[in-house]
Structures are given as C-alpha cells and as structure tokens.
C-alpha cells in the first residue's frame, strides 16, 4: 500500500512539529560574525584565510563534501565514479 500526504506549513511550524531545536539565534550570531570578519578583508588572500577558519575541516571538508555530492548524483543517474582526485 502506498500513501501520499501533503502538509502546508511554514518552516517554523515544521521545525516545531518535528521537535527540532530553534537555532535561529545561533545562526544570526554566526552570520553576523562572518559579516564583521569580511568587512576587514582587503584582498582575496585575506578572504581565503578567513574562510578556512570558518569552514569545518577547511579545504579537506569541502573536498569530501564535493566528492560525496558527485557520488550521490552519479548513483542517482546510474553513472559510475571513475574520477580520482
């Protein structure tokens, strides 16, 4: 048996229904700190150094995330992953 349900609600209502914590204040603080840090950057090198500090695991984390997304897309469309980085 197969069923289909459609709910119409705001993101806030969905968060509360699923019992997820409200992280909007933490998100606002994080975004504010990023904005303030970016105001002090004068060139690309400073911006890259700053982003390395904010990104979890730095470039390795971004590379792992990209690889995971590529593998998922390939699996979804039936392609094999032949690319090696």
pTM, 2 dp: 0.40
> Is residue 3 one of the residues assigned to a domain?
no
Establish how many alpha carbons lie within 13 A of residue 26's alpha carbon, considering only the half-sphere containing its beta carbon: 3
How many domains is the chain partitioned into structurally?
1
Say if residues 67 and 85 touch (Cβ distance below 8 Å): yes
Angle (nearest 5°) at CA 57 between 51 and 58: 30
The pLDDT confidence band at residue 72, using thresholds 50, 70 and 90, is: confident
> Is residue 5 one of the residues assigned to a domain?
no
Neighbours of 63 (CB within 10 A): 12
- Which residue range(s) make up the domain with 31? 11-76
Residue 71 has pLDDT above 70, yes or no: yes
> Is residue 63 one of the residues assigned to a domain?
yes
pLDDT digits (tens, 9 = 90+) for 14-52: 888 889 888 888 888 888 887 777 776 667 777 677 666
Mean pLDDT of the chain: 78
pLDDT value of position 8: 92
pLDDT value of position 56: 62
Distances from the Cα of 24 to the Cα of 12, 18, 41, 50, 69, angstroms: 10, 16, 26, 23, 26
> Is residue 21 one of the residues assigned to a domain?
yes
> Is residue 81 one of the residues assigned to a domain?
no
């Amino acid at each position: 048996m197969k069923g289909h349900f459609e709910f119409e609600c705001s993101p806030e209502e969905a968060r509360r229904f699923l019992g997820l914590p409200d992280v909007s204040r933490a998100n606002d603080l994080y975004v504010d700190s990023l904005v303030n840090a970016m105001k002090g950057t004068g060139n690309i090198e400073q911006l890259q150094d700053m982003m390395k500090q904010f990104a979890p695991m730095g470039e390795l984390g971004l590379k792992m995330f990209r690889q995971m997304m590529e593998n998922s897309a390939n699996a979804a469309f039936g392609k094999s992953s032949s690319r090696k980085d």
